[in-house]
């Protein structure tokens, strides 16, 4: 082996040891799990290729990290191992084939499948059913005594309940911070200007390893069992799954997703299902674990280096990745808000390629200590927008300070930041082309005037070509003016002009929303319309009457007042009204007769377009009664998919049966 390979292995080993120290000892990881996995895989491959360099203290042969002096040490009677990984169905097949070969088995194997929680592994020792010791995994041989802290975790029993509890029992499992609690904790930390955690796993680890257990007691931690270590004087089932169920009977918590499966096919089906459910689970998981269920077979298979041969983890796509911050762009929003946006070296994370991420405001850049050129950790938990959660200390030498602009990047007007507000704003108002574009886009959007086909690209071109400056100018456009635009054929231009004309029949609530008054969303616009009934009354409203409305506080009232006082806005409103925008006259609530008053509906079967609860509320808002059972008093039965006895009864009684579409049509009218 050459000197360079020798050096490469040594350096890689040292690098991984440093990662281990940051992760396990300091609870402050400096690389993502995905990057760590790649590095350890590389080291394993190199050690296999050059076995003369395999060393027993290599990170490929050990588990976890060192032990903090602050806690007393606990020698695990049975080592706490980690798990091997598979990343594909083919690797799972190889795993099963290795097992079958070793067992000389041809029958289909039964596996207990469990979610792999992203937390901190611990061991709990119960003597005569009483919790006497709790320890972290540590390096797998020696852990830390965290008994005092663990005793503050609400779902860990201090005393097991029931029969046949072994004289001595070791339960192993994972301590996590549930996602909702983690988010609450971080929001609180942000509000108090204290440091939050990068992810729920670090939150769990950091909370469990507090020196003061009163601190741990204030952290919302939870524990879930995944296995058993020591058993003394006790008789347990010969199935891992059954053993876990027994733990539950004694009072120990299990995750709900544990089940039995047969062969590779069953395992993959469980993987697919769990991956789909990932976003809805209360805790974060990073994969699924397949375990040979038969304890006798587990014993026959034994262990290899630091992992059991009878179990493996099938990892899910990483939710955190690291990449480079290439640049920061400053975007101008509808109300002039300047949002810094990180431009990233594209990276595949949480199932999508991410190349941009909002940095929200200047405070966020400062909080992260971010500089252009930094390596950053991107987190995209299932279905959540990507976020930069950390800038890593190994910044490149070329890193460059991010300068928040003092002038708008679009119109060069001054940017102002009001004392106590996080958001900086361009002061250009509708002079700023960016704000004009956004205002027109917002005016045309589906929830507002609903001009079909008036998308981002069309609005941008219309403003850039100087064809429109305000939403009112839309109504003066002709098809001939549109045709020369990019990707605009004659038919499309004609459709767009028709859509503009059609939007003129609107509602007061939609018109108010379309004006784009700061902090007036659709619910507030509706409340304003219902209260003031006419645009004129709203325009003339004083602060007191505005503040009497739901959702309208001092600030929103101020925004509404100042919007209608601006001459430019008055002119645009006048132009819109003279272009022909109109809406049905509104009546005060007391005078209204709701269209479905006195009608009784029954909803049955599965509704696919609107959740049942929403349908119920929408019907009730129109005055209908919604009942749970069909009787002669029922006016309509709405029958979704697989409707059963209620539909039959409705047919027997000759009651009008509506499809879900017919109900939606009724609601629309």
Q: Which residues bind ligand I6G (CB under 6 A)?
A: 81-83, 114, 116, 121, 174, 226-227, 289, 308, 311
Let me know if 553 is exposed, middle or buried by CB neighbors in 10 A (0-12, 13-18, 19+). Answer: exposed
Nearest Cα to Cα of residue 387 among 192, 207, 190, 220: 190
CB 292 to ligand I6G: min, Å: 10
C-beta of 98 vs 360, nearer to ligand I6G = 98
Give 536's Cβ-side CA count (13 Å radius): 3
C-beta of 81 vs 332, nearer to ligand I6G = 81
C-beta of 114 vs 139, nearer to ligand I6G = 114
CB 101 to ligand I6G: min, Å: 21
Alpha-carbon gap, residue 598 to 635, rounded angstroms: 9
φ/ψ (deg, to 5) at 354? -110, 130
CA 608: distance to chain centroid?
24
CB 76 to ligand I6G: min, Å: 12
Token pair 């005016």 is found at 443
248 is known as an active-site residue: no
CB 291 to ligand I6G: min, Å: 6
C-beta of 20 vs 461, nearer to ligand I6G = 20
Nearest Cα to Cα of residue 169 among 133, 120, 208, 116: 133
Output the CA angle 638-640-641, nearest 5 degrees: 155
Output the CA angle 501-507-513, nearest 5 degrees: 95
CB 121 to ligand I6G: min, Å: 5
Alpha-carbon gap, residue 346 to 324, rounded angstroms: 9
CB 302 within 8 A of CB 309: yes
C-beta of 254 vs 533, nearer to ligand I6G = 254
CB 415 within 8 A of CB 338: yes
CB 622 within 8 A of CB 635: no
Token pair 């003394």 is found at 232
Strand partners, 637: 602, 657
C-beta of 138 vs 471, nearer to ligand I6G = 138
Cβ count within 10 A of residue 644:
10
> What percentage of the chain's residues is helix, strand, coil (to nearest 5)?
40, 25, 40
* Among 8, 116, 195, 457, the one annotated catalytic: 116
Q: Which residue is nearest to ligand I6G (CB)?
A: 226
C-beta of 170 vs 371, nearer to ligand I6G = 170
566: CB partners within 8 A, 6+ apart: none
Token pair 């079958």 is found at 100
Give, for 6, the enclosing helix (H) or strand (E): helix 3-20
C-beta of 308 vs 471, nearer to ligand I6G = 308
DSSP secondary structure string, 59-104? TTTS-S----TTS-EEE-SS-----EEE-SHHHHHHHHHHHHHHHT
Residues with a known catalytic role: 116
């Amino acid at each position: 082996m050459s000197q360079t390979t020798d050096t490469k292995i040594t350096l890689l080993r040292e690098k991984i040891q440093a990662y281990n120290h940051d992760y396990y000892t300091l609870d402050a990881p400096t690389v993502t799990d995905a990057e760590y996995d790649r590095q350890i895989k590389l080291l394993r491959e190199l050690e296999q290729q050059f076995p003369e360099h395999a060393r027993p203290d290599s990170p490929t042969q050990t588990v976890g990290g060192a032990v903090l002096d602050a806690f007393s040490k606990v020698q695990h009677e049975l080592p706490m191992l980690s798990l091997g990984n598979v990343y594909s169905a083919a690797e799972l097949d190889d795993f099963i084939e290795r097992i079958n070969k070793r067992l000389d088995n041809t029958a289909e194997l039964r596996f207990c499948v469990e979610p792999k929680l992203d937390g901190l592994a611990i061991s709990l020792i119960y003597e005569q059913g009483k919790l006497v010791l709790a320890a972290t995994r540590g390096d797998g041989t020696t852990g830390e005594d965290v008994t005092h802290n663990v005793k503050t975790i609400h779902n860990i029993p201090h005393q097991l309940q029931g029969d046949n509890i072994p004289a001595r029992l070791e339960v192993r499992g994972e301590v996590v911070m549930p996602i909702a609690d983690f988010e609450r904790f971080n929001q609180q930390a942000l509000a108090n200007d204290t440091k939050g955690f990068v992810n729920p796993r670090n939150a769990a680890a950091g909370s469990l390893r507090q020196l003061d257990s009163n601190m741990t007691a204030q952290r919302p931690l939870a524990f879930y069992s995944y296995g058993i270590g020591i058993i003394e004087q006790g008789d347990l089932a010969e199935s891992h799954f059954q053993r876990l169920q027994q733990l539950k009977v004694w009072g120990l918590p299990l995750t709900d997703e544990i089940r039995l499966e047969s062969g590779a096919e069953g395992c993959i089906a469980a993987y697919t299902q769990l991956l789909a459910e990932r976003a809805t689970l209360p805790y974060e998981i990073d994969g699924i674990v397949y375990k040979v269920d038969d304890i006798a077979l587990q014993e026959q298979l034994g262990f290899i280096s630091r992992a059991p041969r009878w179990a493996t983890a099938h990892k899910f796509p990483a939710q955190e990745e690291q990449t480079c911050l290439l640049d920061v762009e400053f975007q101008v929003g509808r109300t002039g808000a300047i949002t810094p946006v990180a431009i990233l070296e594209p990276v595949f994370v949480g199932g999508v390629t991410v190349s941009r991420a909002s940095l929200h405001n200047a405070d966020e850049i400062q909080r992260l200590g971010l500089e252009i050129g930094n390596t950053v950790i991107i987190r995209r938990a299932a279905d959540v927008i990507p976020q930069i959660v950390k800038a890593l200390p190994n910044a490149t030498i070329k890193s460059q300070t991010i300068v928040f602009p003092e002038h708008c990047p679009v119109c060069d007007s001054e940017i102002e930041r009001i004392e106590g507000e996080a958001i900086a704003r361009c002061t250009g108002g509708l002079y700023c082309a960016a704000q004009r574009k956004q205002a027109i886009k917002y005016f045309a959007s589906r929830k507002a005037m609903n001009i079909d086909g008036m998308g981002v690209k069309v609005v941008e071109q219309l403003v850039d070509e100087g064809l429109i400056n305000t939403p009112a100018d839309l109504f003066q456009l002709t098809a001939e003016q549109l045709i020369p635009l990019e990707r605009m054929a004659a038919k499309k231009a004609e459709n767009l002009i028709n859509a503009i004309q059609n939007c003129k029949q609107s509602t007061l609530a939609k018109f108010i929303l379309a004006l784009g008054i700061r902090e007036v969303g659709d619910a507030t616009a509706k409340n304003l319309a219902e209260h003031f009934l006419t645009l004129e009354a709203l325009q003339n409203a004083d602060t007191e009457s505005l503040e009497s409305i739901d959702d309208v506080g001092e600030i929103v009232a101020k925004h509404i007042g100042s919007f209608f006082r601006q001459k430019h806005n008055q002119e645009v409103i006048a132009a819109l009204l003279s272009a022909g925008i109109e809406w049905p006259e509104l009546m005060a609530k007391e005078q209204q007769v709701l269209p479905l008053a006195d009608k009784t509906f029954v909803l049955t079967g599965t509704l696919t377009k609107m959740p049942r609860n929403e349908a119920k509320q929408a019907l009730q808002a129109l005055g209908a009664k919604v009942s749970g059972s069909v009787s002669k008093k029922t006016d309509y039965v709405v029958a979704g998919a697989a409707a059963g006895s209620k539909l039959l009864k409705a047919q027997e009684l000759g009651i009008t049966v509506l499809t879900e579409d017919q109900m939606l049509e009724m609601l629309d009218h």
